[in-house]
Amino acid sequence: MPACVDQELLLGGLVDGELDAANTALVEAHVARCEGCSEELERLQAVRSLVASEGVRHAAPETLIRRLAVLPELSPRNVSRNWLPGWLAPGIAGALAASLAVVALVPPAAQSALDQELVSSHVRSLQPGHLTDVLTTNQHVVKPWFNGRIDFSPPVPELADRGFPLAGGRLDSIDGKTVAAIVYRRRLHTVNLFVWPAPDAASRAFEKDGFAVMEWSRNGLRFAAISDIPPAELRQFEALFAARAG
């Protein structure tokens, strides 16, 4: 019996330990009741064990490791300097400077009910069929989809070339308000970006229940990005989004 088509990528992510806690629980629950996916998971686990076994997995020679270690292209200085193309660097630098100027790390005691609601909404969206109301990688479909459904127009920039492909959008509810939720991907992980009208306020960053959250304001809109990716990658997402949102 073949595995479910919509579960194949997730099964690979489960075997490789790439899924977040919510998706891990969902896939394991699916495998428990699906014979085809259970068989596919066993096959993937067997292949992984075989590849990692002695005599199959090839270790790089010490001489090669030493030669790679001294390559100037791999030095931290060069990597940090050249990670952005020249045309994008000024915009990113400006966005980062603006963000860092007002960013505030919020201690756990100060995290409000809104923080918990953001996390809960993110986890709820990971349930099957809840992530998107409009499923598309086309920004010119997602942005106009919000027209008439909410009374503001959220920016929907394309970030796929920087490792954050668009996945779609949906309507959600935060603090009793209907908000836009723009969905991006980071490898096998989900980045939810909640957007709603609000007075400008200080940016802030915090972690809650294993999720990183970044909040910032721009042009009368409040943005809250949440994911289980490392906080540094979420900061990169914030800078890219701000630079391309215009």
CATH number of the domain encompassing residue 161: 3.30.200.100
Alpha-carbon span 94 to 100, nearest angstrom:
10
pLDDT more than 70, % of the chain: 77
User: Are 196 and 218 part of one and the same domain?
Assistant: yes
Considering its fold, how many domains does the chain have in total?
Answer: 2
Q: What is the pLDDT of residues 189-240, one digit of tens each?
A: 999 999 999 999 999 999 988 999 999 999 999 999 999 999 999 999 999 9
Contact assessment for residue 45 and residue 15, using Cβ atoms and an 8 Å cutoff: yes
Ranges of H-type helices in 16-138: 21-33, 35-52, 62-69, 76-82, 89-102, 113-125
Phi and psi, residue 32, nearest 5°: -65, -25
125 and 230 share one domain: yes
Please say which residue of 35, 53, 83 terminates a domain.
Answer: 83
- Are residues 114 and 196 both part of a single domain? yes
Instruction: Spell out the residues 6+ positions from residue 123 whose beta carbon is closer than 8 angstroms to its own.
Output: 22
The pair of three-digit structure tokens given for residue 38, joined into one six-digit string? 């259970």
Looking at the fold, whether 117 and 157 belong to one and the same domain comes out as yes
83-100 pLDDT, tens digit per residue, is 445 555 555 555 555 544
Alpha carbon 172 to chain centroid distance? 18
Residues 35, 123: one domain? no
Task: Tell me which residue range forms the domain holding 79.
Answer: 1-83
- Claim to verify: residue 231 and residue 113 sit in the same structural domain: yes
Residues 165 and 96 in one domain: yes
Are 115 and 179 in a shared domain? yes
**Residue that has been written with the tokens 């890219």 in this structure:** 240
Tell me whether residue 10 is exposed, middle or buried, using C-beta atoms within 10 angstroms of its C-beta: 0 to 12, 13 to 18, 19 or more: buried
The pair of three-digit structure tokens given for residue 30, joined into one six-digit string: 């699916």
Q: Are residues 108 and 177 in the same domain?
A: yes
Task: Give strand pairing partners of 168.
Answer: 135, 183
Which pLDDT band holds residue 7 (cuts at 50, 70, 90)?
confident
Same domain, 214 and 98: yes
DSSP string of 120-156, one letter each residue = HHHHHHTSTT-S-SEE-S-HHHHHHHTBTTBSS----
Radius of gyration of the chain (CA): 21
The pLDDT assigned to 189 comes to: 96
Higher pLDDT, 108 or 5: 5
Q: Which of 36, 56, 83 finishes a domain? A: 83
pTM assigned to the model: 0.59
The pLDDT assigned to 95 comes to 55
Cα–Cα distance for residue pair 190/164, rounded to 1 Å:
9
Same domain, 227 and 119: yes
Q: Are residues 56 and 148 in the same domain?
A: no
**Digit-coded pLDDT (tens) for 144-198:** 999 999 999 999 999 999 999 999 999 999 888 999 999 999 999 999 999 999 9
pLDDT tier for residue 111 given thresholds of 50, 70 and 90? very low
| Tokens standing for residue 121 | 């909404």
